[in-house]
Amino acid sequence: MQSPTADPLDLVREDLREFAGYRSARSERLDGGIWLNANESPWCNPSDPDARLRRYPDPQPEALRALLSDMYRCRPGELLAGRGSDEGIDLLVRALCRPGQDAVLVTSPTFGMYAISARLHGARVVDVPLHDTPQGFQCDFDAVADAAEANAVKLVFLCSPGNPSGTLLPIESIAALAQRLEGRAVVVVDEAYLDYAQAPSATSLLDMQRNIAVLRTLSKAHALAAARIGAVIADAGLIAVLQRCQAPYPLPGPCVELAVAALAQPVRAGSAAHIQTTLDERERLHAMLASSPLVRCAYPSRANFVLARLKEPQDAFDRLLAAGIVVRDLRSSERLGDALRISVGTPEQNRAVAAVLGSDGVSA
Ligand SMILES: *Cc1c(COP(=O)(O)O)cnc(C)c1O
């Protein structure tokens, strides 16, 4: 189906558009019974009697790609699996930004990897800070579009729900931004926490607006952070370019096996039950913090954490630590000098947090 909007391939670095990337022994698509083309050992490692590890893995295993694209509601060719969404961020920066010339745009406070990938690649970082309002942090989409147009921005990184803000961005505003920046920039929507928001994914915009890329991950709601599996979902042509920029064998075989097992229907039902518990617990944690005399402000959250400003942040951090509870200290970030980000734990873990920070903890 031909989409109406400009081809996002025109935004890829000109020197990479025809770039073929590394041709691994795996990419030749030959057939045979005796495989002597990749310098692998003909014997298994003694620790690997089932021969799961002897050969190089498939760069993009079809079973994994099929399960992920089914879950994220896109076509398999519109999805690239990689080593966490961190790799997706890095591939996008490298494929689109000319070092020393192009820029990425971020909306602080936000996930640190966007700026780190940009910096490692020699791309400028333009910041359009979120507005801090009583309803939570809000994105100024007009200011983002103006700054993108003025600064040779190739990638706009939006995080929805935001880390650490917890704010879900309106999907209509994302669509309008992508439309305005068509032919200029790709709008990247990092949906690492969307499983906790019960809201539509920006992948639903792809058929209308091709300059959108969505990042998803199995690291959070699927509880597979150590497997390092994430996905970029975007226009099929752009995905093909990103794949050519990717390392030759990006996905370790055992990690793929784990991910495929975790995406089977009955297992997903178990993950869904945990998500539901997290949502209930998140509201409880937020209410506890909002009513705590130690807390200046607890932001509403659509993710699996709550961001709170404390009256005595060092004291609160120390008291949590003394109780064996480690939370994320955000005080090194410019505008969150008094803030902590607390992940939603099990009901029991959240009660332990409440015992330290809740009104009961204060009077105790
Ligand atoms: C945790 C997180 C990720 C996940 O990164 P992975 O590399 O997939 O583990 C991505 N984006 C944001 C905003 C995150 O908080």
pLDDT at 4 over 80: no
pLDDT at 23 over 80: no
Is residue 163 in contact with ligand 1, taking CB distance under 6 Å?
Answer: yes
Range in 107-116, 122-131, 325-334 with the lowest mean pLDDT: 325-334
Mean of the pLDDT values across residues 306-320? 96
Better pLDDT: 4 or 149? 149
Mean of the pLDDT values across residues 37-65? 95
Is residue 217 in contact with ligand 1, taking CB distance under 6 Å?
Answer: yes
Helix (H, G, I), strand (E, B) or coil at 207: coil
Q: Helix 236-245 to helix 84-96 angle, to the nearest 10 degrees?
A: 100
Q: Say what the pLDDT of residue 360 is.
A: 62
Q: Say what the pLDDT of residue 333 is.
A: 84
Give me ligand 1 centre to Cα 172, in Å: 23
Is residue 84 in contact with ligand 1, taking CB distance under 6 Å?
Answer: yes
pTM: 0.95
For atom 14 of ligand 1, which residue has the closest CA?
192
Rounded to whole angstroms, the Cα distance separating 34 from 78 reads 33
Given the CA of residue 86, which atom of ligand 1 is nearest to it? 7
Given the CA of residue 159, which atom of ligand 1 is nearest to it? 13
Rounded to whole angstroms, the Cα distance separating 3 from 165 reads 33
pLDDT at 157 over 80: yes
Is 161 in contact with 131 (CB distance < 8 Å)? no
Give me ligand 1 centre to Cα 303, in Å: 12
Give me ligand 1 centre to Cα 86, in Å: 6
Give me ligand 1 centre to Cα 328, in Å: 15
Given the CA of residue 87, which atom of ligand 1 is nearest to it? 7
Give me ligand 1 centre to Cα 40, in Å: 33
Rounded to whole angstroms, the Cα distance separating 54 from 252 reads 12
pLDDT at 262 over 60: yes
Mean of the pLDDT values across residues 117-137? 96
Q: Say what the pLDDT of residue 1 is.
A: 43
Is residue 243 in contact with ligand 1, taking CB distance under 6 Å?
Answer: no
pLDDT confidence bin for 178, thresholds 50/70/90: very high
pLDDT at 221 over 60: yes
Give me ligand 1 centre to Cα 311, in Å: 29
Its sign, for the CA torsion 6, 216, 116, 125, is: positive
SS3 content of the chain, % helix, strand, coil (to 5): 40, 15, 45
Tell me the percentage of the chain whose pLDDT exceeds 90: 89
Range in 26-40, 131-145, 213-227, 330-344 with the lowest mean pLDDT: 26-40
74-124 residue pLDDT tens: 999 999 999 999 999 999 999 999 999 999 999 999 999 999 999 999 999
Q: DSSP class of residue 140?
A: -
269-303 residue pLDDT tens: 999 999 999 999 999 999 999 999 999 999 999 99
Is 187 in contact with 148 (CB distance < 8 Å)? no
> How do beta strands 124-127 and 103-106 pair?
parallel
pLDDT at 139 over 70: yes
Given the CA of residue 162, which atom of ligand 1 is nearest to it? 13
Ligand 1 pocket: which of 68, 72, 83, 86 to mutate (most atoms within 8 A of CB): 86
Q: Say what the pLDDT of residue 19 is.
A: 83
For atom 5 of ligand 1, which residue has the closest CA?
85
Domains of the chain: 8-263 (3.40.640.10), 272-357 (3.90.1150.10)
pLDDT at 3 over 70: no
Tell me the percentage of the chain whose pLDDT exceeds 70: 97
Better pLDDT: 17 or 159? 159
Given the CA of residue 111, which atom of ligand 1 is nearest to it? 13
Phi-psi region of 316 (alpha: psi -120 to 50; beta: other; left: phi over 0): alpha
Q: Give me the chain's average pLDDT, please.
A: 94
Ligand 1 pocket: which of 220, 229, 302, 305 to mutate (most atoms within 8 A of CB): 220
Where in 89-217 does DSSP place strands (E)?
A: 103-106, 124-127, 131-133, 136-138, 153-159, 186-190, 212-217
Q: Say what the pLDDT of residue 362 is.
A: 53
Is residue 78 in contact with ligand 1, taking CB distance under 6 Å?
Answer: no
Tokens 């009697």 sit at which residue? 49
Is residue 190 in contact with ligand 1, taking CB distance under 6 Å?
Answer: yes
Rounded to whole angstroms, the Cα distance separating 315 from 322 reads 10
Rounded to whole angstroms, the Cα distance separating 38 from 32 reads 13
What residues contact 331, with CB distance under 8 A and at least 6 apart?
313, 337, 338, 339
Q: Say what the pLDDT of residue 197 is.
A: 98
pLDDT confidence bin for 364, thresholds 50/70/90: very low
pLDDT at 30 over 90: no
Q: Say what the pLDDT of residue 35 is.
A: 92
Helix (H, G, I), strand (E, B) or coil at 268: helix
Q: Say what the pLDDT of residue 2 is.
A: 46
